[in-house]
Amino acid sequence: MKLARGFCDLNISATDTDLKKTLLKALSLGYQTLAINREVTDTLEQHQKGKKRKKDDFPSVPPPPKVTLTKEDLDRHGITKEPVILTRITITYADPGSAFLSKFRNSIKQYDIIAVTPTTDSALKQTVSQTVVDVDIIALGPEERGTRFARKLLRLAVERNIYFELSYGPCITDSTRRQQTITLSHVLHHSFRSANIIVTSQARIPSHLRRPYDVMNLGKFFGLTDAGAKAALVAMGHNVVYFAAMRRQGVARCAAQVTLLKNTNGQDDSIAKYEGLDDARKYLKTQNA
Amino acid sequence: MHNPEVEKHPPPECRLYHGCYHWEQVGKEAAWRKLVDQHPFNAKISLLMPDLPSVPADLRELLTQDTQFYRIDKLPLHQLCAPAFLQAFLNKGQVFGLSCDTLLDTDNSAVIAPDGLLRLLLNKFTYQELALSGSLSADILRTPMEKFVVEVDLKNPNFYPGKPRYQQVKNAFTQLPLAFSFWILWVPNDPDVCPSSIAKYFHDLGYSVSECAATLSQNVLEKAFMPFPGPPVEEAGLDEQIAEPEDLLEWIGCQTLGIRLSQKESVLSGVVEPRHGTPVNNLCCAQSSGFFSPSLIHLLIQYTRSWLAQREATAVPWVSLTVYGHPDSAMSWRWEKPSCSSWDNLYTLVITREHLLAFMLLGPGKPQRLIAQSHNGVLSCGETAQGSKTLLLSPNTSLPSPITQGALVVCNKVYGKLILEVGGVHLRARQVTVVIRATSTALRMWWCSSATTEHSGRPRAVIRCPTGSSASAMPSSYSMCLTQGRANTSTRLERLGLTCMAATKGLAISW
């Protein structure tokens, strides 16, 4: 189980050409935990009513990309710390009724981090309630309609330890994207005071990357405080990786066993098992009463 | 939230304590001895001595001969609890250990203080996995909960196998194999024992040990004007000639950086020549970086004192010794409550024939957020002749229009030159106003750059302070204003640059 260390950049787009260069650049800038992102879009074709989608219409989910960085690569760029490289998949889909997620559940589960970009309200509802697949990050994409996200859903997501992503990479090139990202960040701030936010780069080429301290400064424009901006890179990133790993391990159940060692009367009472702490407390109350 | 504060960032508070001591004072009065002893991890020493064309051989020998320290890679912490280590080294001398390559704000770091305290500064996940109890760090703001301090007293007489505390610590360290690369220095109590036996011990255990030595560099200025350090004398008229402590420190720092001081305060520079002082020749500034123990500092003080006694008073009025701590160490000062901070911690001793003036510079007193100072290898290859410190700063960007160019400005400050790196793919030539706010003067300069593109697509300009002009300031904050310039194909640096802060005052980096 790989845990995150240092500064995290959890969205580096997996293009075929520049991936290694981008990774090395990010590591030399100071990030230590990187996640290679692969985007999969569930294309919703305008099919006629009634017809079911054929099997060919589904886009396929490729297996996770593997990148090895040799020691010489690291030395050449002066990277002293050991990098942690994870894999991530971002699924964009609109229709919660489509069978896409359940069909490819196994291949999706091979990735370390699962992110979702829902484009409709109902899709958002499905991801938050986490029926089909466990989601770690919700990356809300650029939306033409303004604030359509229901605050209750967003708050519910925060309670369930789902993190929201703000990426600054597209902001560098495109000014409309910039405005949309800032609007989105304001919305998130209004909804839940920017509690569970990570900032990522979504970098396709190495020059989209920025140093972590610069990104922390940029976080101020995204409505984060100083501490929040630092947390968005460090602590929240670590949390995302940790929760993702825990989700893959499975639901943790804990059983409590309460044993009474000795009765207050001095006799050895038989060791009794109780169903839970409440029962034990009730027993103690009856004892003391 | 809608208008984030991007302009006003007050500089962090910097505390200066100073005192004047007579050489004959002993005991509690000689607080300077305690000052030296309680700063265990000294990373750099800077000496300012007039009338010295080059560093004399015995001083060079003192600084470089016996000052080897060892770097041990990936030493797991349970080795430090091994009874052999405890008996052979910890109890028979002073062990100084500092974890290298760990940044204070993102990584776990560890120090071993000479009196046997192992102090770990851990991130939240590591602390939760390590089964030892600790507390939230007092120097770092508690919300969000970031850093935890775990302290183990290795020299406790109850710390040996068999005792419950020892078992607990050993189990915790074995269960979570927390390993750091340490710089280790051992000063044995018995002078006959060779200090390198600690290296041999770890080498025999199978860890890779490398020996590091202190480096020495020097910088000689031909003519200088040294201010009077004080203490105030009773004679009338001479009282005003004594320099204020801040001014004295500023002067010392300027000499360390090689800043030429002008006579009058001009618009370019807020630092001037001292009004009253003694002219001297051949002011030598020797700097040595490595890993030094307080006993070496005491030896240096003795040496300079005897050297001072041999020279005339007019040629050599006083000598100063500045000691810097390592910026990423988890313990800067070993008081009852050891403190650490990511700001500058240093002390300066001004040695005259009768007195010793001690100045101690500390960071802010209140808990701070851990942000912003990443020192990329203070002790390693990023050194210029003046001892550079590469700081990654991002000054306050006050942008006139919302982030129009997607430019993020990173300031790399190396003492002696200011490297401004402007990021942004479409940035070809920009007019950047750099406003450096000193205490009273402001310095404005324009530059157009399209200089080296070390980082692809990112123009970068190196602004040096040419020796002719004395453009220097004591900036306490800066802000950068990025305006959209005309697409200018001129590629020359337009105006001259400015040097960076004096070495002694706390660097006020504002965000």
From B362, B379, B413, give the residue that closes a domain. Answer: B362
CA distance B107 to A80: 13
Please tell me whether residues B281 and B326 are part of one structural domain.
yes
DSSP-assigned beta bridge partners for residue A118:
A93
Q: Grade residue B395 by pLDDT with cuts at 50, 70 and 90.
A: very low
Average pLDDT of span B426-430: 30
Kindly state whether B503 is in contact with chain A, defined as any CB-CB distance less than 8 angstroms. Answer: no
Residue A200, C-beta contacts closer than 8 angstroms, at least 6 positions apart = A9, A10, A11, A165, A166, A167, A168, A169
Please tell me whether residues B182 and B253 are part of one structural domain.
no
Does residue B439 have a pLDDT over 50? no
Give the residue with greater pLDDT, B157 vs B305: B305
Give the residue with greater pLDDT, A206 vs A270: A206
Kindly state whether A243 is in contact with chain B, defined as any CB-CB distance less than 8 angstroms. Answer: no
* B410: chain A residues, CB-CB within 8 Å: 211, 213-214
Give the pLDDT of residue B137: 67
Residue A220 to residue B6, Cβ atoms within 8 A:
yes
Residue A129, C-beta contacts closer than 8 angstroms, at least 6 positions apart = A156
Does residue B288 have a pLDDT over 50? yes
Lowest-pLDDT range of A35-49, B249-263, B286-300, B361-375: B361-375
Q: Going edge to edge, which strands form the sheet with B442-447? A: B396-398, B477-483, B431-437, B442-447
CA distance B111 to B151: 10
Asked whether residue B301 is domain-assigned, the answer is yes
Asked whether residue B49 is domain-assigned, the answer is yes
Asked whether residue B428 is domain-assigned, the answer is no
Which residue of chain A has the CA closest to B369? A227
| Token representation of residue A162 | 């789902």
What angle is formed at CA A195 by the lines to CA A190 and CA A200, rounded to 5 degrees? Answer: 100
- DSSP sequence for A60-118: P-PPPP-----HHHHHHTT--SPPEEEEEEEEEE--TTSTHHHHTHHHHHTSSEEEEEE
Q: Is the dihedral of CA A221, A222, A225, A230 positive or negative?
A: negative
Q: How far is A24 from chain B (nearest CA, A)?
A: 12
Residue A234 to residue B511, Cβ atoms within 8 A:
no
Q: How far is A176 from chain B (nearest CA, A)?
A: 11
Give the residue with greater pLDDT, B90 vs B452: B90
Does residue A267 have a pLDDT over 80? no
Q: Is A145 exposed, middle or buried (0-12, 13-18, 19+ CB in 10 A)?
A: exposed
Total domain count for chain B? 2
Please tell me whether residues B48 and B144 are part of one structural domain.
no
Q: How far is B369 from chain A (nearest CA, A)?
A: 7
Does residue A253 have a pLDDT over 80? no
Asked whether residue B3 is domain-assigned, the answer is no
Asked whether residue B58 is domain-assigned, the answer is yes
Q: What are phi and psi of A216, to 5 degrees?
A: -65, -40
Please tell me whether residues B127 and B190 are part of one structural domain.
yes
Give the residue with greater pLDDT, A62 vs B502: A62
Distances (CA, A) of A229 to A170, A178, A179, B144, B410: 19, 18, 19, 11, 17
Q: Going edge to edge, which strands form the sheet with B346-351? A: B15-22, B355-362, B346-351, B319-325, B42-49, B277-292, B215-227
Which amino acid, A261? L
Q: The domain containing residue B178 runs over which residues?
A: 68-213
Average pLDDT of span B438-444: 26
Distances (CA, A) of B142 to A8, A128, B136, B145: 21, 31, 7, 5
Distances (CA, A) of A211 to A8, A18, A20, A164, B41: 11, 19, 18, 21, 29
Please tell me whether residues B251 and B193 are part of one structural domain.
no
Kindly state whether A235 is in contact with chain B, defined as any CB-CB distance less than 8 angstroms. Answer: yes
Average pLDDT of span B259-277: 72
Q: Grade residue B368 by pLDDT with cuts at 50, 70 and 90.
A: low
Give the residue with greater pLDDT, A125 vs A200: A200
Average pLDDT of span A127-140: 77
Among B2, B124, B457, the residue with its CB nearest the CB of A207 is: B457
Average pLDDT of span A175-200: 82
Strand locations in B4-134, DSSP E?
A: 15-22, 42-49, 69-76, 93-99, 109-112, 117-122
Q: Going edge to edge, which strands form the sheet with A137-138? A: A7-13, A31-41, A84-93, A113-118, A137-138, A163-167, A197-200
From B362, B379, B399, give the residue that closes a domain. Answer: B362
What angle is formed at CA B133 by the lines to CA B142 and CA B363, rounded to 5 degrees? Answer: 40
Average pLDDT of span A7-34: 82
* A167: chain B residues, CB-CB within 8 Å: none
Q: Is the dihedral of CA B17, B20, B24, B26 positive or negative?
A: negative
Strand locations in B115-201, DSSP E?
A: 117-122, 135-136, 148-153, 179-188
Residue A223 to residue B4, Cβ atoms within 8 A:
yes
Q: What are phi and psi of A287, to 5 degrees?
A: -65, -45
Asked whether residue B157 is domain-assigned, the answer is yes
Kindly state whether A223 is in contact with chain B, defined as any CB-CB distance less than 8 angstroms. Answer: yes
Which amino acid, B178? L
CA distance B210 to B173: 24
Give the pLDDT of residue B144: 59
Q: Could you tell me what percentage of chain A is helix, strand and coil, using 3-state DSSP and rounding each to the nearest 5?
A: 40, 15, 45
* Residue B337: strand, helix, or coil: coil
Average pLDDT of span A124-149: 72
Kindly state whether A275 is in contact with chain B, defined as any CB-CB distance less than 8 angstroms. Answer: no
Give the pLDDT of residue A126: 78
Chain length of chain A: 289
- Top mean pLDDT of B8-12, B178-182, B500-504 is at B178-182
CA torsion angle for A153, A156, A158, A163 (degrees, to 10)?
-50
* B394: chain A residues, CB-CB within 8 Å: 211, 213-214, 217
From B336, B362, B388, give the residue that closes a domain. Answer: B362
Lowest-pLDDT range of A192-196, A236-240, B261-265: B261-265
Residue B424 to residue A242, Cβ atoms within 8 A:
no
Please tell me whether residues B279 and B351 are part of one structural domain.
yes
Average pLDDT of span A59-69: 72
The per-residue pLDDT for range B167-197, each reduced to its tens digit, is: 888 888 888 878 888 888 888 888 777 878 8
Does residue B453 have a pLDDT over 60? no
Helix (H) or strand (E) holding B38: none
- What average pLDDT does chain B have? 64
| Token representation of residue A103 | 């069909």
Asked whether the beta carbons of A35 and A10 are under 8 A apart, the reply is: yes
**Of B127, B154, B129, B152, whose CA–CA distance to B140 is shortest?**
B127
What pTM was estimated for this model as a whole?
A: 0.67
Residue B214, C-beta contacts closer than 8 angstroms, at least 6 positions apart = B63, B64, B67, B288, B289, B290, B291, B292
CA distance A217 to A224: 9
Q: Grade residue B319 by pLDDT with cuts at 50, 70 and 90.
A: confident
Please tell me whether residues B60 and B73 are part of one structural domain.
no
Please tell me whether residues B259 and B168 are part of one structural domain.
no
- What is the maximum span of chain B, computed from C-alpha positions, in angstroms? 75
Give the pLDDT of residue B158: 75
Please tell me whether residues B22 and B84 are part of one structural domain.
no
Lowest-pLDDT range of A63-67, A97-101, B279-283, B434-438: B434-438
Give the residue with greater pLDDT, A108 vs B235: A108
Which residue reads 């070993």 in tokens? Answer: B334
Among A30, A172, A216, the residue with its CB nearest the CB of B406 is: A172
Q: Going edge to edge, which strands form the sheet with B179-188? A: B135-136, B148-153, B117-122, B109-112, B93-99, B179-188, B69-76, B209-212
Q: Grade residue A94 by pLDDT with cuts at 50, 70 and 90.
A: confident
Lowest-pLDDT range of A80-94, B79-93, B269-283, B315-329: B269-283
Average pLDDT of span B83-90: 82
Asked whether residue B501 is domain-assigned, the answer is no
CA distance A39 to A116: 9
CA count, 13 A, side-chain hemisphere, B134: 28
Give the residue with greater pLDDT, A79 vs B144: A79
Kindly state whether A147 is in contact with chain B, defined as any CB-CB distance less than 8 angstroms. Answer: no
- DSSP sequence for B120-143: EEE-HHHHHHS-S--EE-SSB--S
CA distance B234 to B241: 12
Give the pLDDT of residue B412: 35
Asked whether the beta carbons of B151 and B124 are under 8 A apart, the reply is: no
CA distance A137 to A114: 7
- What average pLDDT does chain A have? 76
Residue B2 to residue A186, Cβ atoms within 8 A:
yes
Q: Do the interacting molecules here have an ipTM over 0.85?
A: no
Kindly state whether A99 is in contact with chain B, defined as any CB-CB distance less than 8 angstroms. Answer: no
Give the pLDDT of residue B398: 26
Lowest-pLDDT range of B38-52, B322-336, B491-505: B491-505
- Cis amide prior to B231 (ω within 30 degrees): yes
CA distance A26 to A208: 10
What part of A 169-208 touches B (C-beta under 8 Å)?
A: 171-173, 175, 178, 182, 186, 189, 206-208
Q: Give the A:B interface size as CB pairs under 8 Å.
A: 86
Radius of gyration of chain A (CA): 23
CA distance B355 to B20: 7
CA distance A225 to B144: 11
Residue A235 to residue B456, Cβ atoms within 8 A:
no
Please tell me whether residues B221 and B357 are part of one structural domain.
yes
| Token representation of residue A279 | 């029962």
Please tell me whether residues B52 and B89 are part of one structural domain.
no
Does residue A139 have a pLDDT over 80? yes
Distances (CA, A) of B296 to B38, B67, B200, B351: 13, 8, 23, 16
Which residue of chain A has the CA closest to B407? A172
| Token representation of residue B206 | 């199978």
Among B370, B403, B455, the residue with its CB nearest the CB of A221 is: B403
Helix (H) or strand (E) holding B84: helix B83-85
What percentage of chain B reaches a pLDDT higher than 90? Answer: 0
DSSP-assigned beta bridge partners for residue B221:
B283
Please tell me whether residues B263 and B337 are part of one structural domain.
yes
CA distance A222 to A243: 24
Give the pLDDT of residue B379: 19
Does residue B413 have a pLDDT over 50? no
* B511: chain A residues, CB-CB within 8 Å: 217, 226
Residue B386 burial (CB count, 10 A): 21
Q: Grade residue B394 by pLDDT with cuts at 50, 70 and 90.
A: very low
Which residue of chain A has the CA closest to B454? A207
Q: How far is B309 from chain A (nearest CA, A)?
A: 47
* B402: chain A residues, CB-CB within 8 Å: 178, 182
Average pLDDT of span B146-169: 80
Which residue reads 């940035």 in tokens? Answer: B427
Average pLDDT of span B407-436: 34
* Residue B451: strand, helix, or coil: coil
Lowest-pLDDT range of A198-207, B328-337, B460-469: B460-469
What angle is formed at CA A248 by the lines to CA A247 and CA A250, rounded to 5 degrees? Answer: 70
Give the pLDDT of residue A260: 58
Q: Grade residue B73 by pLDDT with cuts at 50, 70 and 90.
A: confident
Asked whether the beta carbons of B144 and A227 are under 8 A apart, the reply is: yes
Give the pLDDT of residue A156: 83
Kindly state whether B50 is in contact with chain A, defined as any CB-CB distance less than 8 angstroms. Answer: no
Kindly state whether A35 is in contact with chain B, defined as any CB-CB distance less than 8 angstroms. Answer: no
- What is the maximum span of chain A, computed from C-alpha positions, in angstroms? 79
Give the pLDDT of residue A111: 83
Residue A178 to residue B392, Cβ atoms within 8 A:
no
Asked whether residue B445 is domain-assigned, the answer is no
Lowest-pLDDT range of A108-112, A231-235, B70-74, B372-376: B372-376
